[in-house]
Copies of this chain bind each other. A is one copy, B any other.
Amino acid sequence: MDDGDDAIRQSAPAELPGEDTQAHRFGLAREAQATAVTEDYVELIDDLITTGGEARPTDIARRLGVAHATAIKTISRLKRDGFAVSRPYRGVFLTEQGRELACRVRARHRLVVEVLTMLGVPEDVAEADAEGIEHFVSPVTLAAFAAYRDRHGA
């Protein structure tokens, strides 16, 4: 309002994307974030059942590094949302919907780790970073990753 910056303002360097575009991108990231915990739980539950035969709340909590009460509350959301069922002292079980999600999530997790590793990231760091990254890899990017892996020796 004091300095005449009209020229600057109207020739806006185009370094920033359009407002709507950017808002949409942030919105997508927020959506992905909202499902991240669900994805981690179903993947872990499926892993525990596959390798150990059962997935008890206590085991889930210990593997996630959270208090057991936290795990129980989250599991109740999983049940509410149709991803799991549970029988006290018998463990948590995935519904068909839960297994389907776990399957997709695990495949994505592995592909992300694989690509990171191919890019020169040490295995354990790749595994750690993938735990966060995986939730934000869209289907298109996932396809690009798969193509890259297939293109180059795996």
Chain A residues near B (Cβ < 8 Å)? 5, 8-9, 12-13, 15-17, 19, 21-29, 32-33, 36, 40, 47-48, 50-53, 62-66, 115-116, 119-122, 124-129, 131-133, 135-138, 140-141, 144-145, 147-148
Interchain CB contact under 8 A, A121 and B140? yes
Interchain CB contact under 8 A, A51 and B12? yes
How many identical subunits does the complex contain? 2
Cβ 8 A contact of A63, one of B23, B53, B62, B64: B23
The smallest C-beta distance from A129 to any residue of chain B, in angstroms, reads: 5
Cβ 8 A contact of A65, one of B27, B33, B51, B119: B27
Cβ 8 A contact of A144, one of B22, B47, B121: B121
Interchain CB contact under 8 A, A23 and B65? yes
Interchain CB contact under 8 A, B115 and A141? no
What residues of chain B lie closer than 8 Å to A9, measured between beta carbons? 52-53
Interface centre among A129, A144, A147 (most CB of B within 10 A): A129
Question: In this complex, what residue of B is CB-closest to A12?
Answer: B51
Interchain CB contact under 8 A, A5 and B53? yes
Interchain CB contact under 8 A, B23 and A132? no
Interchain CB contact under 8 A, B127 and A17? yes
A-B contact pairs, 10 of them (CB 8 A): A9-B53, A15-B51, A21-B124, A24-B65, A25-B127, A26-B64, A26-B131, A28-B132, A33-B36, A121-B140
What residues of chain B lie closer than 8 Å to A22, measured between beta carbons? 63-65
